[in-house]
Amino acid sequence: MNFGYREVCLDHDTGERHPESPDRLRAVRRALKECHGVDYVDAADADLDVVREVHDADYVEEFREYCEDGGGHWDADTVAVEATWDAALASAGLAVWAAESAGVDVRARETPFALGRPPGHHAVGDDAMGFCFINNAGVAAQAALNQGADSVAIFDWDVHHGNGTQDIFYDRSDVFYASIHEDGLFPGTGDIDETGVGDGEGANVNVVYQPGADTADYLAAIDEVIAPEIADYDPDLLLVSAGFDAHEHDPISRMRVSTEGYGVMTERMVDLADDCDAGLGFVLEGGYGLDTLSDSIKMVHEVFDGYQPVAPDDGVSEDAREVLDEVAAQGFGSK
Ligand SMILES: [Zn+2]
């Protein structure tokens, strides 16, 4: 793969013992050293005009001034230093790069993966939260639309609900948002009946699983609901909000997706983008075990290097089946 990466993203210093630390990117870079076909690509900062299309101008200015004044605790979890402004614009710029360089040859070794931080999917239109300041995938989707795409789908497999991305596009039909997340975790949004409003009605899908959902459950959500819905939506671009905190050994969740599972999910995304003749790009969100994060990203990369991951042969759990039935009752899923 081509990995978008900028050193300035390491300067966003969240302090000791914060799970979202620069060590995450260092660990990923170290792991990718062992792989064939890894290329790093630089990218420009996100264009502030595009950032202001997905975030309120007043919030963007407040965030800029907050960093200029040295930063601090924006809230209990969300920490900024002076360099956070530059890191956030770089991180969003990397996501824009991923959108721009997502070619329709979705199996290509050049498929883009933006390795930025701070992450983005909790940043709502007018506020930072959950370690996120600028909604990277949201800015990337908006940039793609501005450059002529008719529609963009964002599939968010991070273990948390991407409330920010949902919030930004909730009443819009040009961006489809789908998420699988763990019930009871931060930020508590993302109920199954949150399906969009106005023009956005039906363009927002939430699969809320109980703790313990595994790879087979994730694949069932993709195969029965998310892939058919996105195929029906037929986007020009498919962005994966790729967090790896649903990993079975991630320290902050209780989901049980395996490293191999991320490979199988990646293949599903390749097939889906292929079906839609859409570009495919990946944007890093969470993932807090340094080994599980880097092994999982390595797995995503290996799929584009020819590795064929093996899907588990166990079926969907009873808990997950109930959830998928509820999602189907909203009118979503294979028709
Ligand atoms: Zn997360």
Sign of the CA dihedral 141, 131, 195, 167? negative
Give the pLDDT confidence score for residue 100 in this predicted structure.
97
| Spans of the chain below 50 pLDDT | none
Domains and CATH numbers, the chain: 2-329 (3.40.800.20)
User: Which of 12, 55, 121, 122 is an active site residue?
Assistant: 122
**122 flagged as catalytic:** yes
For ligand 1, the distance from its centroid to the CA atom of residue 335, given in whole angstroms, is 30
Give the pLDDT confidence score for residue 334 in this predicted structure.
65
For residue 296, what are the contacts with CB-CB under 8 A and spacing of at least 6? 244, 247, 259, 262, 287
For ligand 1, the distance from its centroid to the CA atom of residue 131, given in whole angstroms, is 9
Cα 131 to Cα 79, 284, 295: the distances in Å are 7, 13, 22
For ligand 1, the distance from its centroid to the CA atom of residue 181, given in whole angstroms, is 9
For ligand 1, the distance from its centroid to the CA atom of residue 287, given in whole angstroms, is 6
The identity of residue 294, as a single letter, is S
Give the pLDDT confidence score for residue 194 in this predicted structure.
98
Contact 215, 320 (CB under 8 A): no
Give the pLDDT confidence score for residue 107 in this predicted structure.
83
The identity of residue 5, as a single letter, is Y
For ligand 1, the distance from its centroid to the CA atom of residue 211, given in whole angstroms, is 14
Contact 262, 246 (CB under 8 A): no
Give the pLDDT confidence score for residue 195 in this predicted structure.
98
The identity of residue 254, as a single letter, is R
Give the pLDDT confidence score for residue 26 in this predicted structure.
98
DSSP 90-143: HHHHHHHHHHHT--S-TT-TT-EEE--SS--TT-BTTB-BTTBSS-HHHHHHHH
Instruction: Give me the half-sphere count of Cα atoms (radius 13 Å) on the Cβ side of residue 236.
Output: 16
